[in-house]
Structure 1
Amino acid sequence: MVEAPVEAVLIKIAGIGLVPNHLGKSLGEMEPILNNLNSKYGAHVCGEGGEYETYTLDCPLFHSRISLEETAPTHHHESSSIAPVAYLRLQSAKLCPKPISVPNLDTVTVPPLFDPESIEAMGKAGLCQVQAHIVPTTPDQSLHNTPSRQSSVSAHDDWVIIASIFGSSSSMPSDEIEQTLEIEVEKVFDRLEVILAESSLTFMDIAHINLHLSSMAYFSEVNRVYTMKFGTSPPTRACVANTLTANSRVMLDAIVRRPSNDHNHQDRVALHVQSRSYWAPANIGPYSQAVKVGSKIFVSGQIGLIPATLTFPMPSSFLEEAVLSLQHARRILATFPSPQWIESIVCYMTDMSYLDQARKVWEHTQSYDKDIPLLFLEVLELPKGALVEWQFIAGTNQNSGDRDDNESNSGPRYICGRQPAFYGCHSQPSKALTVTGTVTNDPIISIKLPPHHPTYIQGFYSSQITADEAERRIKASFNLKEENEVDCAMSLVRVSSIGLNTGPADLDIGFHMMGLLL
């Protein structure tokens, strides 16, 4: 504020080291004093702990400056001598017009769009040749006669997963199929609300939502209904367009965390930035950029918008969008305390021809381990016409009651296998397990993982197979059968192409699994 320049004066004090004589002083005058109090007592220099409040007299946006003509300090009779509470009563003020001038915009410092890490990644990935990707010409397993899946619910420890909530199905009477999109979205949320209530939960407890639309043409209308369901701390969200089953236009999965009973510990922390900056883009819908619950950090799907303008780089460039959207995700995660690590990434693309380029962008990003589970999916459309979207799930041991002073036990362990191909991440003490991979045609082969409860599986399959075949093979690989008592929420979505950290993008099945270690 001082450098902006914003002229603001203290009108309230309520922190250690602040005295009534400080009332009326500007932030410029108080800056060295506040820095000294921060060094001595840990007082927040910006007053975020309620140490002080200010009143703005002038800033570059004001046409006139506020001049305080008459003020009177007022002491709170119950305040302590260590941290007295006092106010500056503004009794009289007037506006003083400022000279009309046109600011020299050339003096405004605009930071580079890409940071050094992104520039290096873009330079190295730019050397990668784009390979033509041809989707296998196998008979299309039509979805029109495939009924919508029944919603499924998984509840383990403090986590509740709700998957496959549709707003319509092929079993509907014909006169209801042409219902408005608004009614369909309302039905999705009505069903979600009922399921949440059965577990004594509300919309406020949702950490993350995976939202699938049959067309991005519905994006704005869905957002209008969606906005009414959440307050100032909405869940994170990933939104893509795919071919959905039956007559559905909307399908939703929700990851929910039960609130902590410890009232002294804030279990949920949301980053919900709605203003424009040069840092990372404001949200383009009713979602938070990131939500931390327990030992997990969910990051909304990031697309390559230029933060200050909310437009894409021109001319259109997959490489620039991939690097920029990945930079957004890095910067969002950097706002949360360390230590933290990436548990999994899903990279949505509208053209799998750029797979090698996307892999190179990730490979040359310095911040993270390169063995992180990564799933590449080619979908029909992304929000705003984006070419690529990165969705992160991170882990942290910054969880009250879960802290482990033994550093070797607190971080992640990355695992991988080849028959079938998978990449996994598990960590203690959070008991989290996340896996991405594919499955084979052989139902005898199962994925060898540490003992765990699978809680949520997002299944993705190509047009080469049916949804029933995909479900059968995924369940067989995780030893999930109808008679099993272990509940696991599961959704299935058809995509155009599927790829992993390495290998071709011609897989017929891919999955993203979340679970809890036993």
Structure 2
Amino acid sequence: MDSFMYQTVGHNVIHLIAQALELPLYRQPILGSAVATSRTYDLASSSNLGTQTDEVESMHTLLLRVKEMHPEVNAVSTGAILSDYQRTRVESVAIRLGLTPLSYLWQYPFLPPYAEASLLHDMNNIGQDSRIIKVASGALDESFLWKNVADNKTITRLQKSAERFGMGGDGSTIGEGGEYETLAIDGPPPLWKQSIIVDEADRAIVPGSAGTATIEIRRASVLPKQFPESDGSTPSVRQPPMLDDILQALQDDVLSHVSSTTEIETRVVSEGTDPISIPNFTSTHGNLTIYSTITAPGSNAVDQTRGIMTKILGDSPTYSSSIVYTLILLRNMEDFAAVNAVYGSFFDRPNPPSRVTVSCGNRLPHDTLVAISFLCADESLSASKQGLHVQSRSYWAPANIGPYSQAVSIPTHISSTESDTTSPRLVYIAGQIPLVPASMSLLPASASPTEQTILSLQHLWRIGTATHVSLWLGGVLFLSRTASPGSYIPAAAQAWKGIHSPLPAQAEPDMSDSDDVDIWDRRHGLGGQDKEISSTYRSTVKTDCVPPLFVAQVESLPRGADVEWSATGYASRDEHFGVEVDRECEVHHRVIAREAESVLAGWVAVSCVSEAARIWKSAGLETGRRYTVYTAVALPEEVLDLLRPTVVPCHSLWDACGKSLEAVIGYVA
């Protein structure tokens, strides 16, 4: 069988793998075909095709049987490396069954040490023996069949073949494009108790159509492995470092700098304790509609959340697919789980909106336990919406289990002359806290403010790279009320500036051929037969400028984190950017595209809110833009009426230098 999801070549040996591992084996026929063939799996669209059954659902039936036989089973592991197609289908099945999806190979070539063949080398180092039993690429001929894919000579041959056919960097070396299939016949103890033996006389090469060829295995057996009596050690499996090399160097630099200076003074102009009004506004901007800080009556957060969602979505749950991004403000973070359950029940399709959630405590109006803002696209824009929703645990970035994506992007405009892949896009990214991706636990309490700031910033950066972000329109660092701003602000400011700075020549990875490379089009150069391919490290973010950064202290953050990064990205291949600062009206930062001489976004730092109306006029701010105001004091009605903003009540605010502010006005042009 050769389908979108399954390969059955070598299936007659699978029972021997179970024997070699001494694990139970469960099998069943694969029914149906690839009905839902989009990159992300949509069970609803598959179910709407009448009597046709998607082949993915055979996995659901099989795993349901496994759960019945083994109630202790709690996770499903997938070997997805770059394939969203495979990963999203396994995730769909696993999550519906209450199982945790594991994808620890996800984005593996783009983690340290940044080499496409790093996985194959790691397999070699622990003694994993996986034989190539099918080739399906013009770059690979029959001579590759039955070679150990983790053998150094085979790795070199795969790299040279990929380079010769111009496929280097697209995952072909590790077979991600279906270039070859493998069969595991041996591996490290104590996992492998026996080895699978296939004599040369018991296998034959079978040529196929269109340049394919397979190995036919006629007979195989297992042989008990011999374990050294004097050495009970097991091979050590390499785990990718938690930080990219550049982030690690940046963390070391920030740590050394912060530790050698006195904690900055963060004088607070205004630390609010009284409730702040959060008006409900609905405004339309071209193809977008914004519902700002929507509230609903109710005696508890669950009832209020249900009322808000019903108010926005009404009786049309399909409208939920038009929502690009949401901002959830809670009075008590303890309500988050209950709110999330209700909120999530309104999203049952792939790529739900990205989301930022914070608790504002008593800064929310009396009787308001939850307020939600929505950014919605019309039908024409929704058709071009793209999402990144990784629900598996991995070494890459935190999994988003539940109703929000890591990122959702939309074109900045609808154009008949530009395609979805070439037109600039706005990328709305979920808030990022310092979770360890592999375990989904927070960094330990002993972690320094710098370590927490850098790890959560890396999450933002990796997601931005995966979604081709070339510019951040600005950054907001949320701090919990228990976090020390004097420690976090300098760490965040130096990290933000440092990661936007050009790398020193000696530290810069080899990416001279392109400043902005698609994640699927990374280049790999092969310098010689025995040399590893060049670095696969990429950051699509350009270093034309350092966007503005502000720090907002709220009541608390998800999971009890001290810090959460929030930023909106701008994806455009060909533009260069800058930041203009107008200090006549307080401090107005304009983020611009230089060639077009157009303003993309802006930020106004307000020291005195009573002057906000004057500042708004002197800054030349226009009505009709999408405004968000982070504020530590009540806003004048005149400002609210002029801007019609989304309001985020805070306890305190600062700029990147530690200067205290009463409000920050952010907008997207």
- The answer to whether the superposition gives a TM-score over 0.5 is yes
Q: Secondary structure at the match of 1:116?
A: helix
How many angstroms does 1:335 deviate by?
Answer: 4.1
1:441 to 588, 610, 631: 610
Distance in 2 separating the partners of 1:155 and 1:75: 59
Amino acid aligned to 2:357: C
CA RMSD of aligned residues (A): 3.8
TM-score (ref. length: structure 1):
0.75
1:118 to 228, 235, 251: 251
1:380 maps onto 2:555 in alignment:
yes
Deviations 1:212-269 (A, max 9, x none): 2222112233333444525553433222111333433332223345687999xx8625
1:344 maps onto 2:474 in alignment:
yes
Structure 1 87/106 Cα, relative in aligned 2: closer, same or farther at 3 Å? closer
1:216 to 308, 327, 333: 333
Structure 1 17/353 Cα, relative in aligned 2: closer, same or farther at 3 Å? closer
1:422 to 588, 593, 606: 588
Q: Secondary structure at the match of 1:129?
A: coil
How many angstroms does 1:8 deviate by?
Answer: 2.7
1:185 maps onto 2:305 in alignment:
yes
Distance in 2 separating the partners of 1:118 and 1:454: 40
Matches within 5 A, 1:243-282: 243=361, 244-256=364-376, 268=386, 270=388, 272=390, 274-277=392-395, 279-282=396-399
Matches within 5 A, 1:366-377: 366-368=498-500, 371-377=546-552
Distance in 2 separating the partners of 1:372 and 1:164: 26
How many angstroms does 1:160 deviate by?
Answer: 4.3
Distance in 1 separating the partners of 2:122 and 2:236: 15
Distance in 1 separating the partners of 2:385 and 2:312: 22
Q: Secondary structure at the match of 1:320?
A: helix
1:313 maps onto 2:444 in alignment:
yes
1:323 maps onto 2:489 in alignment:
no
How many residues get paired? 463
Q: Which runs of 5+ in 2 are unaligned?
A: 1-118, 412-424, 501-542
Matches within 5 A, 1:152-301: 152-157=282-287, 159-166=288-295, 168-169=296-297, 177-178=298-299, 181-194=301-314, 202-228=319-345, 229-243=347-361, 244-256=364-376, 268=386, 270=388, 272=390, 274-277=392-395, 279-283=396-400, 286-294=403-411, 295-301=425-431
* Greater fraction strand: 1
How many angstroms does 1:423 deviate by?
Answer: 1.9
Q: Is the 8 A contact 1:131 1:353 kept in 2?
A: no
Structure 1 122/232 Cα, relative in aligned 2: closer, same or farther at 3 Å? farther
Distance in 1 separating the partners of 2:291 and 2:174: 41
Amino acid aligned to 1:116: A
1:460 aligned residue: 630
How many angstroms does 1:184 deviate by?
Answer: 3.8
2:23 aligned residue: none
1:38 maps onto 2:162 in alignment:
yes
Q: Is the 8 A contact 2:194 2:222 kept in 1?
A: yes
Q: Is the 8 A contact 1:121 1:361 kept in 2?
A: no
Distance in 2 separating the partners of 1:7 and 1:286: 39
2:135 aligned residue: 13
Q: Which runs of 5+ in 1 are unaligned?
A: 170-176, 399-403, 405-409, 481-487
2:175 aligned residue: 47
Amino acid aligned to 1:47: G
Q: Is the 8 A contact 1:304 1:321 kept in 2?
A: yes
Q: Is the 8 A contact 2:333 2:556 kept in 1?
A: yes
Distance in 2 separating the partners of 1:284 and 1:420: 42
Distance in 2 separating the partners of 1:210 and 1:119: 33
Q: Secondary structure at the match of 2:656?
A: coil
1:150 aligned residue: 280
Amino acid aligned to 2:601: T
1:484 aligned residue: none
Amino acid aligned to 1:188: I
How many angstroms does 1:381 deviate by?
Answer: 0.2
2:664 aligned residue: 510
1:3 to 118, 121, 128: 121
Q: Secondary structure at the match of 1:313?
A: coil
Structure 1 392/98 Cα, relative in aligned 2: closer, same or farther at 3 Å? farther
Structure 1 252/52 Cα, relative in aligned 2: closer, same or farther at 3 Å? farther
Structure 1 28/317 Cα, relative in aligned 2: closer, same or farther at 3 Å? closer
Distance in 2 separating the partners of 1:240 and 1:34: 48
1:499 maps onto 2:666 in alignment:
no
Distance in 2 separating the partners of 1:290 and 1:108: 29
How many angstroms does 1:336 deviate by?
Answer: 5.0
How many angstroms does 1:437 deviate by?
Answer: 2.3
Distance in 1 separating the partners of 2:217 and 2:343: 43
How many angstroms does 1:131 deviate by?
Answer: 3.3
2:566 to 377, 391, 395: 391
Distance in 1 separating the partners of 2:235 and 2:359: 40
Distance in 2 separating the partners of 1:287 and 1:473: 32
Structure 1 433/87 Cα, relative in aligned 2: closer, same or farther at 3 Å? same
How many angstroms does 1:491 deviate by?
Answer: 1.9
Structure 1 162/35 Cα, relative in aligned 2: closer, same or farther at 3 Å? farther
Amino acid aligned to 2:567: F
2:494 aligned residue: 363
2:91 aligned residue: none
* Greater fraction helix: 2
The range that moved more, 382-391 or 440-449, is: 440-449
How many angstroms does 1:68 deviate by?
Answer: 6.2
2:192 aligned residue: 63
Distance in 1 separating the partners of 2:399 and 2:578: 33
Deviations 1:126-184 (A, max 9, x none): 3241536557477x5446xx6x7435242424x44443233x23xxxxxxx335x4444
Q: Is the 8 A contact 1:208 1:237 kept in 2?
A: yes
Distance in 2 separating the partners of 1:65 and 1:379: 57
Aligned residues: percent identity?
21
How many angstroms does 1:297 deviate by?
Answer: 3.1
How many angstroms does 1:66 deviate by?
Answer: 6.1
Q: Secondary structure at the match of 1:301?
A: coil
How many angstroms does 1:435 deviate by?
Answer: 1.9
Q: Is the 8 A contact 2:473 2:570 kept in 1?
A: yes
Distance in 1 separating the partners of 2:599 and 2:221: 60
